[in-house]
Amino acid sequence: MIRTRLIATAASAPDQVITNDDLSKIVDTSDEWITQRTGIRERHISSGENTSVLVTDVASQLLHRASVSPENIDLIIVASVTPDYGTPSLACMVQKEIGAANAVAFDIVAACSGFMFALSIADKYIKSGVYKNAIVIGGETLSKIIDWKDRSTCVLFGDGAGGAYVERSEEAGIICEDIGSCGEQYDILTEGYVPCSNVFNEVPSGIHPEWYVHMDGREVFKFATKNVIKSMQKVMAEEGLTEADIKYIVPHQANVRIVEVISRKLNIPYGKFYMNMEQYGNTSSASIPIALNELNEKGLIARGDKIIMSGFGGGMTWGTMLIVW
């Protein structure tokens, strides 16, 4: 059977690290509140690097790690809610920077589920025989769409990018998935609103308040636990798996308390959930591939291991994938 196999992973983050104590100097918060409510201690924040810089770094590392020439790349998909431009896409910017002249390149938007959606698309192209390989990246500079005066959101997010080089394989790879959307609840997590202003309908100048991240944290928490649990159950049932068959679960790195609920309700040991939100915060579409890359770099996964990745986010959306490494 033809599968899409993850051959190499990579990640990139700005050098600048902002701690919870740093944030307590600009908003009314504390290390204690942030750590207890979220599990986050620090995050990487851009000193000017835009998203294209981070995703290009990931793509260059992937080429090197997979020993692939840029002209042999068929497809580049980048998931992001914080691209440099409306157009060109980040994927086309990556294409230029790495010299992948023969690739088809485009971006997708599925917020924190973005990497899962992008990987799902690459999988379909590869399984159908249209393309034989792809670079799939999630990358964000969320710091540019955060209201740094709003303590309820600014403590949660970070900047970064992560991705994978995937290839047609007959041995292992993506086994099954469950992706979904609930547009009905779109307004519980929004960002980047641009009002329709033109010469015939002028709106006040300056940044519109809805440009920033707005989130009903409690509703998102409920959405996440309900849908990630259902989605993981569905994927495991489809393959007849129990938790004993799974080496690691790589969840979206939003909040350790969300992971605690999922672990408890699914009766899966907490230690099987790989987390690094303590150092990165929530990097939206980048969070799962950054964590997956860390697992890989630490040598914690071996070929043949079964891994579940599961994300949720704006839209609202969710996406779960079972892979054999």
Interface pick for ligand UT7 out of 224, 275, 309, 323 (rule CB under 6 A)? 224
142: left (phi over 0), alpha (psi -120 to 50) or beta: alpha
> How many residues belong to the site for ligand UT7 (CB under 6 A)?
20
Element (H, E) at 37: helix 31-38
Alpha-helical regions (H) of 90-247: 90-98, 114-127, 151-154, 217-238
148, 270 in Cβ contact below 8 A?
no
Output the smallest distance, CB 287 to ligand UT7, in A: 8
29 interacts with ligand UT7 by CB under 6 A:
yes
Q: Is 132 helix (H, G, I), strand (E, B) or coil?
A: coil
| 43 lies in the binding site for ligand UT7 (CB under 6 A) | no
Would you call 208 a catalytic residue per the annotation? no
What is the torsion angle, in degrees rounded to the nearest 10, for the CA atoms of residue 179, residue 82, residue 50 and residue 126? 30
112 is catalytic: yes
**152 touches ligand UT7 (CB under 6 A):** yes
The catalytic position among 20, 227, 255, 282 is 282
Element of type H or E holding 10: strand 3-12
Q: Looking at beta carbons only, is 95 or 225 nearer to ligand UT7?
A: 225
Strand extents, DSSP E, 142-293: 159-169, 173-181, 189-190, 214-215, 248-251
Which of 44, 112, 255, 293 is catalytic? The answer is 112
C-beta closer to ligand UT7: residue 66 or 220: 220
Supply the DSSP symbol for 99.
T
* Distance, CA of 153 to CA of 18 (rounded, Å): 15
| 155 binding ligand UT7? (CB under 6 A) | yes
**8 A C-beta contact, residue 287 and residue 280:** yes
265/288 Cα distance (integer angstroms): 21
Measured CA to CA, the distance from residue 181 to residue 52 in angstroms comes to: 27
* Nearest residue to the partner ligand UT7, using Cβ: 217
Question: Of residues 1, 201, 205, 218, which one binds ligand UT7 by CB under 6 A?
Answer: 218
- Rounded Cα distance between 8 and 63, Å, is 9
Q: Could you tell me which residues come within 8 angstroms of residue 24 by beta carbon, excluding any fewer than 6 positions away?
A: 30, 31
Could you say which of 91, 161, 254, 307 contacts ligand UT7 (CB under 6 A)? Answer: 254
Q: Are 215 and 187 contacting, i.e. CB atoms less than 8 angstroms apart? A: no
**283 is an interface residue for ligand UT7 by CB under 6 A:** no
Residue placing its CB nearer to ligand UT7 in the complex, 70 or 311:
311
Select the residue interacting with ligand UT7 from 255, 263, 296, 310 (CB under 6 A).
Answer: 255
Whether 64 is catalytic: no
Catalytic residue among 252, 255, 293, 296: 252
Among positions 38, 51, 296, 320, the unique one binding ligand UT7 when judged by CB under 6 A: 38
Binding mask 301-320 for ligand UT7 (x = CB under 6 A): ------------x-------
Q: How far is the CB of 290 from ligand UT7 (least distance, A)?
A: 13
The window from 93-101, 151-159, 263-271, 299-307 that contacts ligand UT7 (CB under 6 A) reads 151-159
Cβ at position 316, least distance to ligand UT7 in Å: 9
Give the integer Cα–Cα distance in Å for 14 and 137: 16
Query: What x-and-dash track marks residues 102-141 binding ligand UT7 by CB under 6 A?
Result: ----------x-----------------------------
CB atoms within 10 A of CB 249: 23
Residues that bind ligand UT7 (CB under 6 A): 29, 33-34, 37-38, 112, 151-152, 155, 217-218, 220-221, 224, 254-255, 258, 282, 284, 313
Annotated active-site positions, please?
112, 252, 282
